[in-house]
């Protein structure tokens, strides 16, 4: 079976959807499928057996597509559609696999070339457009929703990553066509020689016995870093020795949040590291006492949550569907997305070592039993078995 996999993102990048795309492509390659993966022009080159990475033409003067809806993304999507059309016109494919908005591309191309397609829902696009404010016109939003629902309904197989998206998909597609394929913990390269939790503490200027509360990931608004900084201000009133480490983000984002930390008076308690290599992440996790997922927006479960669970460290997450569709009170502390409630949850864990250890133990066991590479590959195989 030869598959044209359309993934409208920079690839490879260390963030949710590109990581998921890499998992899907890797699994298909391991299952013996031949995959042509068409992605945006930006990103790192990675080697995936049985997968050929092809890139949309680079447009002079057009920057890398940012996270979320944008005019830049629309331009690259137009060129992706053209190149996908040419690939299907000049080559033979058995399946078109479209991720996010490329599911709509796959639907259109399927009608032209009579090739079945998979709609891979890593998010609900209509929700993204509505919440981001990128499209404020109700008529245009209605058209986007109609296109998305039609593409879901016509797919030979629909892949979702969480219960919320499964519920959305089953409104339009038969339940036996919808396959929930959750993310799994991210795999990391081995840390550099000499990098340990102790040496990282020293590098960041953290006392050897100071508790560390860690956030990792991008610093987009929906991630709730504002909430984490507000919580740092409250936690510091009773546990001034605690240090909040924010690992991730580009230079502009870091400077913006560093300024906010200054306004809140927590600039000495919050450490911004910027983006760090993947190989450093296990050491960051090892250094941490508590992990944070303060996300405020979105409906899919953050990929980082699966990685956090696998560390065996306790987590404080917002009590929103993005988390509660996976997490229970046994696996994490779920707090209201409010300054006082979120900081109180952090303090509760800080002051109870036994609770931290037991919650981390349960979390690690939960993810080890149900979310691993073998289970992911089996679910992808099941999704493709529905096609025939």
- For 308-330, how does the pLDDT look when each residue is reduced to its tens digit (9 = 90+)? 999 999 999 999 999 999 999 99
- Position with higher pLDDT, 143 vs 31: 31
Q: Can you read off the two tokens belonging to residue 167?
A: 């519920």
The CA distance from 292 to 350, in Å, is: 13
Mean pLDDT of all residues in 106-113: 98
The CA distance from 208 to 221, in Å, is: 32
Helices and strands of the chain, counted as H and E runs: 15, 13
| Architecture of the 197-369 domain | 3-Layer(aba) Sandwich (3.40)
Residue 142 has pLDDT above 80, yes or no: no
Does the pTM surpass 0.75? The reply is yes
The pLDDT tens digits for 43-102 are 999 999 999 999 999 999 999 998 878 889 999 999 999 999 999 999 999 999 999 999
Q: Classify the phi-psi angles of 51: left when phi > 0, otherwise alpha if psi is within -120 to 50, otherwise beta.
A: beta
The CA distance from 123 to 222, in Å, is: 14
CA distances from 65 to 35, 73, 75, 255, 304 (A): 24, 5, 9, 21, 22
pLDDT of residue 130: 62
Domain boundaries of the chain, sorted by first residue? 2-184+372-385, 197-369
Q: Can you read off the two tokens belonging to residue 323?
A: 């988390």
The CA distance from 236 to 330, in Å, is: 26
The CA distance from 296 to 220, in Å, is: 11
The DSSP secondary-structure symbol of 60 reads T
Mean pLDDT of all residues in 211-222: 95
Mean pLDDT of all residues in 250-262: 96
pLDDT of residue 327: 97
pLDDT of residue 7: 98
The pLDDT tens digits for 110-136 are 999 999 999 999 887 766 666 555 555
pLDDT of residue 133: 57
pLDDT of residue 193: 95
The CA distance from 41 to 64, in Å, is: 8
The CA distance from 8 to 80, in Å, is: 8
Residue 263 has pLDDT above 90, yes or no: yes
List the beta strands (DSSP E) in 40-191: 51-55, 95-99, 117-121, 157-160, 178-180
Share the mean pLDDT of the chain.
Answer: 94
Whether the domain at 2-184+372-385 and the domain at 197-369 fall into the same CATH topology: yes
The pLDDT tens digits for 152-178 are 999 999 999 999 999 999 999 999 999
pLDDT of residue 78: 96
pLDDT of residue 125: 74
| Architecture of the 2-184+372-385 domain | 3-Layer(aba) Sandwich (3.40)
The CA distance from 106 to 102, in Å, is: 6
């Amino acid at each position: 079976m030869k598959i044209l996999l359309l993934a409208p993102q920079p690839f490879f990048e260390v963030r949710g959807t590109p990581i998921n795309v890499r998992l899907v492509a890797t699994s298909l390659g391991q299952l013996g499928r031949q995959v042509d993966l068409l992605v945006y022009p930006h990103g790192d080159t990675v080697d995936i057996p049985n997968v050929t990475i092809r890139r949309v033409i680079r447009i002079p003067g057009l920057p890398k597509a940012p996270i979320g809806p944008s005019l830049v993304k629309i331009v690259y999507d137009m060129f992706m559609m053209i190149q996908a059309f040419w690939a299907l016109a000049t080559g033979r494919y058995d399946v078109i696999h479209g991720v996010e908005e490329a599911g709509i591309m796959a639907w259109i191309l399927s009608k032209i070339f009579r090739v079945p397609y998979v709609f891979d829902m890593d998010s609900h696009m209509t929700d993204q457009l509505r919440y981001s404010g990128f499209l404020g016109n109700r008529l245009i939003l209605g058209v986007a929703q109609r296109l998305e629902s039609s593409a879901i309904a016509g797919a030979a197989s629909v892949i979702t990553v969480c219960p919320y998206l499964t519920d959305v998909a089953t409104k339009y597609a038969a339940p036996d066509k919808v396959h929930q394929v959750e993310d799994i913990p991210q795999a990391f390269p081995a840390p550099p020689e000499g990098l340990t939790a102790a040496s990282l503490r020293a590098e960041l200027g953290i006392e050897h016995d100071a508790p560390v509360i860690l956030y990792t990931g991008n610093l987009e608004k929906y991630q709730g870093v504002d909430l984490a900084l507000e919580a740092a201000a409250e936690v510091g009133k009773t546990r001034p020795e605690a240090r909040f480490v924010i690992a991730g983000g580009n230079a502009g984002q870091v400077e913006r949040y560093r300024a906010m930390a200054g306004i809140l008076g927590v600039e000495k308690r919050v450490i911004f590291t910027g983006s760090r290599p993947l190989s450093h992440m296990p050491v960051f996790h090892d250094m941490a006492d508590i992990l944070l997922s303060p996300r405020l927006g979105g409906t899919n479960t953050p990929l980082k949550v699966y990685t956090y669970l696998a560390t065996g460290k306790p987590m404080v997450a917002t009590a929103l569907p993005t988390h509660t569709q996976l997490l229970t009170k046994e696996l994490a502390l779920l707090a209201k997305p409010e300054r006082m409630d979120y900081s109180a949850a952090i303090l509760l864990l800080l002051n109870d070592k036994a609770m931290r250890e037991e919650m981390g133990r349960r979390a690690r066991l939960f993810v080890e039993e149900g979310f691993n590479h073998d289970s992911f590959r089996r679910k992808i195989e099941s999704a493709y078995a529905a096609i025939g």
